[in-house]
Homo-oligomer: A and B are copies of this chain.
Amino acid sequence: MTKQDKISEAVVRRLPVYLRYLNELSASDILTVSSQELGARLNLNPAQIRKDLAYFGDFGRKGVGYNVSYLIEKIRQILKLDRPLYVALVGTGNLGRALSNYNTYLKDNMKIVSIFDADPSKVGMVINNLVVQPVEELAQTVKEKNIAIGIITVPAAAAQKVADRFVEAGVRGILNFAPTVLRTPEDVRIHQTDFTADLLSLAYYMNFDSEDTTKGTLEDESLVD
């Protein structure tokens, strides 16, 4: 396998987005796609797309575009989705339930195979065909099922303890949904999905200047420099 350590996080983050759309095209029996078409659909600059894909070799043919199925195969290889990748989830509240239903979206060999909860009253429940296990079984199940990735959907206060469990059990990647920053060893990759930060940072882009400030509830303008 070639090392691809130089590919930036931003590029790696866009590849699944390309992949999803390419899978849609493939399902519609569309055989080729241009960077212009990809860009228009994905709100991205076609030149950016060509640059992203050029990291991985010369896929496109000028005037013809990319071969959809070849590009799907290549991106799956690059993302290492060409082999099974098993995922465990801890925390079966509303968010955990929503995610455990995402197996349908994931395809590509990545699959949530086990779900856990610390609450004894949740243990034994069946959610999307998975039986909720007690969190004490996590380490053993991770080893038995060769689970590489952990998803954390527990409250913020409980999240670090779950991360520690995952690390001890030997997972190599964690996707954390709890609104808190977790500490993990350097060789365990952690991605943070932070709704509240996503939402709060939107506020910055709201252009209140153009608004009629006499309207409604915006009365504390005096606080602003």
Contacts and interface: CB of A to CB of B under 8 A. Distances in A.
Interface in A149-199: 149, 151, 172-173, 175, 179-181, 183, 187, 189, 191, 193-199
Nearest to A7: B204
Interface string A92-128: 0111011101100110101000000000000000000
User: What is the size category of the interface that chain A forms with chain B?
Assistant: 35 or more
B13 A83 contact: no
Contact of A41 (B82, B181, B194): B181
Contacts of A180: 20
A200 interface: yes
B1 A82 contact: no
B82 A207 contact: no
Nearest to A219: B83
A195 B193 contact: yes
A221 interface: yes
A4 B217 CA distance: 23
A207 B5 CA distance: 11
